[in-house]
Amino acid sequence: MHFGLSDEQEMIVSTVRSFVENEIYPHEAMVERTGQVPFELGQEIKRKVIDLGFYACNFPEEVGGAGLSHLDFTLVERELGRGSMALTHFFGRPQNILMACAGDQRERYLLPAVRGEKMDALAMTEPDAGSDVRGMKCSARRDGGDWVINGSKHFISGAEHADFFIVFVATGVDETPKGPKKRITCFLVDRGTPGFEVRDGYASVSHRGYKNYVLYFDNCRLPDAQVLGEVDGGFAVMNTWLYATRLTVAAFCVGRARRCFDHALSYAAERKQFGQAIAKFQGVSFQIADMITEIDAADLLTLSGAWRLDQGFEANREIASAKLYASEMLARVTDATLQIHGGMGLMDDFPIERFWRDARVERIWDGTSEIQRHIISRDLFRPLGA
């Protein structure tokens, strides 16, 4: 058992951290103030990442990616977690689910996405289908040789930059002993397809500039060629490629927590009250000790989950544990960081209040904390027949 990073991994961490500090940090205040990422800035970040050789680094070399392992990519995501999501979005990590592309889909979607010529967005969530994916109402029906989609999706991130969308919809119902069970199919939908519209979503207090959108389908007609994977095989595609996104959230939370911790540590050492640095008071120093302990624990859980994937081991429970613990750890760390800064922590002069606001959504998206606990407990009880 070896817990150190290789020289190559140390280089990955150093390179991405330097990029975030030099290319992302300087623009964060502007994005936070305006809620926008200027088009030219987004393209500039993308170009620099391509030049750096890190664009689509989560894809294998055979399709033009950097071929990073799960562990290496988790290190990348951990460092990107330090920066604004609205800006690091352009670092370019297309959805791994595009590896399910077959035939002409590879030339139309997979390869352009890896080269940075097209951007994708994932569309799964609906107003009445968040944690309950099978509750989705957006559906597709057969009409001749085509599919006709009707319904809507919401909370779709990155939609304003997407050239195409990876959309999951219901394509039938099976009657089972436990009641009706919807069949799900995944479709590739180009922006501008007749009957498909992208509209502004909701204003959020978390991750300003990283907007969410609503997708509407009104008799949107698609041929069989737009099915990703197999008809009615959406869950198979989802389970093969998407469950590791929870690991990405965990890594983000660790990176953001370490940035918060750096602020808390420096402020506690410099801020003076009653004639001495507040770090001298156990009320502060013990918080610092608890923070770094929790951050390190979340880091180890996260990297362990990535390592298990690379070794081909079962990792579903371990990844759920990492997502659960890291996201809840970030909430505690950002709150403690704000408390250490006192009233100034809530002022725009520091980024602390932004970290505090941003942290809240991490316990919700990519599977709520409650869903993670369900996954963990189910995994433990299933072998016992309970």
Per residue in 135-188, pLDDT (tens digit) is 899 999 999 889 999 999 999 999 999 999 999 999 998 888 888 888 999 999
Per-residue burial over 281-304, b if 16 or more Cβ lie within 10 Å, else e, is eeebeebbeebeebbeebbebbbb
Question: Which residues of the chain form CATH 2.40.110.10?
Answer: 120-235
CATH assignment, 120-235 = 2.40.110.10
The total number of residues written for the chain in this structure:
386
What's the confidence (pLDDT) of residue 198?
96
Is 7-115 a CATH 3.40.50.360 domain? no
Per residue in 233-249, pLDDT (tens digit) is 988 888 777 778 899 99
What are the tokens at 255? Answer: 């990176």
Question: Which residues of the chain form CATH 1.10.540.10?
Answer: 7-115
What's the confidence (pLDDT) of residue 338?
97
CA distance 323 to 249: 6
What's the confidence (pLDDT) of residue 52?
95
What's the confidence (pLDDT) of residue 241?
76
Radius of gyration, alpha carbons of the chain? 22
Task: Give the up-direction half-sphere exposure of residue 140: CA atoms within 13 A in the CB hemisphere.
Answer: 31
What's the confidence (pLDDT) of residue 175?
84
What's the confidence (pLDDT) of residue 255?
98
CA distance 353 to 341: 10
Task: Give the up-direction half-sphere exposure of residue 291: CA atoms within 13 A in the CB hemisphere.
Answer: 28
Q: Is residue 122 within 8 Å of residue 156, measured between CB atoms? A: yes
What's the confidence (pLDDT) of residue 236?
85
**Which CATH number applies to 242-384: 1.10.40.60, 1.20.140.10, 3.90.1150.10, 1.25.10.10?**
1.20.140.10
The closest alpha carbon to 166, from 223, 97, 113, 224, belongs to 97
Q: Which residues of the chain have pLDDT under 50?
A: none
Q: In the chain, where does DSSP find H-type helix?
A: 7-19, 25-34, 39-52, 70-80, 85-88, 104-105, 111-115, 234-241, 245-270, 282-311, 316-341, 352-359, 369-381
* Angle formed at CA 90 by CA 165 and CA 261, multiple of 5 degrees: 120
The closest alpha carbon to 94, from 121, 75, 61, belongs to 121
Q: How far is CA 320 from CA 12, 79, 245, 325, in A?
A: 25, 20, 10, 9
